[in-house]
C-alpha cells in the first residue's frame, strides 16, 4: 500500500515537472532597427542607431593631431531599458585621459 502511494506521488511529481517544463515563455517581438545613420571620412566618423525596443547609440570620433593630443577623441552616448524597467543612459568621452562615462538612471515616468 505504501509502495503504491510512493509510486503515485513520484508520478505526480514527474507530471507536474513535465507540465512546468513544457510551458513556453511568451514570445517577444523581434527587435528592429528603426534608425541608422553613419558617416566616415579621413578626419573622423559619426554614427547613430535606434531600435524598436528603445535602445539607441550615438558616437562621434574626431582625429586630433595637435600639441595637446594625437589620435581619436570620441564622445557619445547610449541608452537602453534594463530588465528591471530602469531607463539607463550613459554619456561618455574617450580621449587622451581615457574612457570617462557618466551614467544616468531614470524611472519611466521621468522619461518623455
What pLDDT, in 10s, does the model give residues 14-46? Answer: 677 676 666 666 777 899 999 999 999 988 999
pLDDT at residue 4 is higher than 80? no
Per the domain annotation, does 24 fall within a domain? no
Per the domain annotation, does 6 fall within a domain? no
Per the domain annotation, does 13 fall within a domain? no
pTM score, two decimals? 0.65
What residues contact 35, with CB distance under 8 A and at least 6 apart? 48, 49, 50, 56
Per the domain annotation, does 10 fall within a domain? no
State mean pLDDT over 62-71. 81
State mean pLDDT over 72-77. 93
Domain limits for position 37: 33-110
Per the domain annotation, does 8 fall within a domain? no
pLDDT at residue 59 is higher than 70? yes
Confidence of residue 112 (pLDDT cuts 50, 70, 90): very low
Number of domains in the chain: 1
Phi-psi region of 25 (alpha: psi -120 to 50; beta: other; left: phi over 0): beta
Specify the higher pLDDT residue, 7 or 99: 99
Amino acid at each position: 500500500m505504501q509502495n503504491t502511494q510512493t509510486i503515485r506521488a513520484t508520478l505526480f511529481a514527474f507530471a507536474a515537472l513535465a507540465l512546468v517544463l513544457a510551458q513556453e515563455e511568451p514570445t517577444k517581438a523581434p527587435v528592429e532597427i528603426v534608425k541608422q545613420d553613419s558617416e566616415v571620412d579621413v578626419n573622423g566618423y559619426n554614427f547613430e542607431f535606434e531600435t524598436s525596443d528603445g535602445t539607441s547609440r550615438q558616437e562621434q570620433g574626431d582625429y586630433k593631431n595637435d600639441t595637446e593630443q594625437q589620435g581619436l577623441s570620441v564622445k557619445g552616448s547610449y541608452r537602453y531599458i534594463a530588465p528591471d524597467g530602469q531607463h539607463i543612459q550613459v554619456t561618455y568621452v574617450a580621449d587622451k585621459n581615457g574612457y570617462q562615462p557618466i551614467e544616468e538612471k531614470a524611472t519611466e515616468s521621468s522619461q518623455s
